């Protein structure tokens, strides 16, 4: 990793997230314009579709917060890499506090402290890398939980809709045409609940998975960048200085 190549692979995760969210909002505006959202709300007396929508918005805001955090960590990691590559020995020996704040900088400081404490032993950063990976991931796992929750709420709405659809059949008097007509209306309402909740749950689950996939990809790139930086520049520099001490 030469100085001219100190760049994070890939783009800032905020831009893909904003593009994806913008396209999603445009689709929602179209659905509202054509009255499909209003029809969904009116046809779902259980309000499960509305609950799924609110949870989706809340989860998307959480994803945005995590994207902003990872974006800042990427910038901090890039600044730390440029400082280490440009002034490696001096930074690691004297100027560790000059590293920009961030998880990757903290990992480099931990490596330097470990090297100073353990002396001439070979520097193994495996456990520290696991700690760094855990810190970078943070609450990203919430995405899988939220996506699964939306899916299960959609299935719950499906079951409730089928119950509503089949309930009128139990006491149906086939001789009474008015009762048959009323039962058909109730069955139609139950089917609408089942279909709308299933559709909203599936769509919300898939859209959330895409958002958090973008987030996880950006997190993995920062971690890979940190591994490359520390193995090539930090660990080798720390191990090379041990015999001179």
The total number of structural domains in the chain stands at 1
pLDDT at res. 22: 94
The answer to whether residue 20 sits within a structural domain is: yes
Task: Give domain status of residue 2, yes or no.
Answer: no
% of residues, the chain, pLDDT over 70: 79
Residue 81 has pLDDT above 90, yes or no: no
| Residue 196 falls inside a structural domain | yes
Burial of 87: CB neighbours in 10 Å, binned 0-12, 13-18, 19+: middle
- What is the C-alpha to C-alpha distance for residues 143 and 60, in angstroms, rounded to an integer? 9
Structure token pair of residue 129: 């890398």
Residue 10 has pLDDT above 50, yes or no: yes
Residues 70/218, Cβ–Cβ less than 8 Å: yes
Q: Does residue 157 belong to any structural domain of this protein?
A: yes
Is residue 198 domain-resident? Answer: yes
Rounded to the nearest 5°, which phi and psi values hold at 123? Answer: -80, 115
Asked whether the predicted pLDDT for residue 119 surpasses 90, the reply is no
What is the average per-residue pLDDT within 10-20?
84
Please name which of 53, 46, 56, 51 lies closest in space to residue 162, comparing C-alpha atoms.
46
In a domain, 63, yes or no: yes
For residue 225, the enclosing domain spans 7-241
Q: Mind listing the pLDDT tens digit for each residue in 198-225?
A: 999 999 999 999 999 999 999 999 999 9
| 240 CB-near residues (< 8 Å, 6+ apart) | none
Backbone angles phi, psi at 2, to 5 degrees: -75, 170
pLDDT score at 5: 54
Percent of the chain with pLDDT over 90: 41
List, for residues 41-56, the tens digit of each pLDDT value.
888 888 899 999 999 9
Given this model, what pLDDT does residue 26 score? 94
Taking the model in full, what pTM does it have?
Answer: 0.84
On whether residue 165 sits in a domain, the answer given is yes
Confidence of residue 245 (pLDDT cuts 50, 70, 90): very low
Q: Which region among 21-30, 95-104, 168-177, 181-190 has the lowest average model confidence (pLDDT)? A: 168-177
> Is the distance from CB of 150 to CB of 52 less than 8 angstroms?
yes
Residue 1 within a domain: no
- Chain Cα centroid distance, residue 33: 30
Residues listed for the chain: 245
């Amino acid at each position: 990793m030469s100085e001219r190549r100190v760049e994070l692979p890939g783009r800032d995760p905020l831009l893909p997230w904003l593009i994806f969210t913008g396209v999603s909002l445009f689709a929602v505006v179209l659905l509202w314009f054509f009255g499909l959202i209003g029809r969904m709300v009116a046809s779902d007396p259980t309000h499960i579709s509305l609950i799924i929508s609110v949870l989706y918005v809340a989860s998307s805001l959480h994803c945005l917060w995590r994207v902003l955090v990872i974006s800042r960590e990427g910038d901090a990691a890039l600044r730390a890499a440029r400082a280490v590559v440009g002034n490696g020995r001096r930074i690691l020996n004297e100027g560790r506090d000059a590293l920009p704040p961030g998880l990757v900088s903290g990992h480099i400081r931990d490596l330097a402290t470990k090297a100073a404490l353990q002396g001439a032993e070979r520097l193994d950063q495996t456990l520290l890398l696991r700690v760094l990976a855990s810190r970078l991931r943070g609450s990203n796992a919430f995405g899988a939980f939220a996506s699964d929750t939306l899916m299960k709420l959609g299935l719950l709405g499906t079951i409730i809709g089928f119950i509503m659809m089949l309930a009128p059949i139990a006491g149906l008097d086939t001789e009474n045409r008015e009762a048959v007509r009323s039962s058909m209306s109730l069955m139609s309402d139950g089917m609408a609940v089942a279909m709308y909740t299933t559709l909203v749950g599936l769509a919300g689950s898939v859209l959330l998975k895409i958002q958090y996939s973008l987030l996880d990809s950006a997190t993995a790139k920062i971690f890979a960048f940190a591994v490359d930086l520390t193995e090539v520049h930090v660990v080798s520099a720390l191990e090379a200085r041990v015999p001179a001490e």
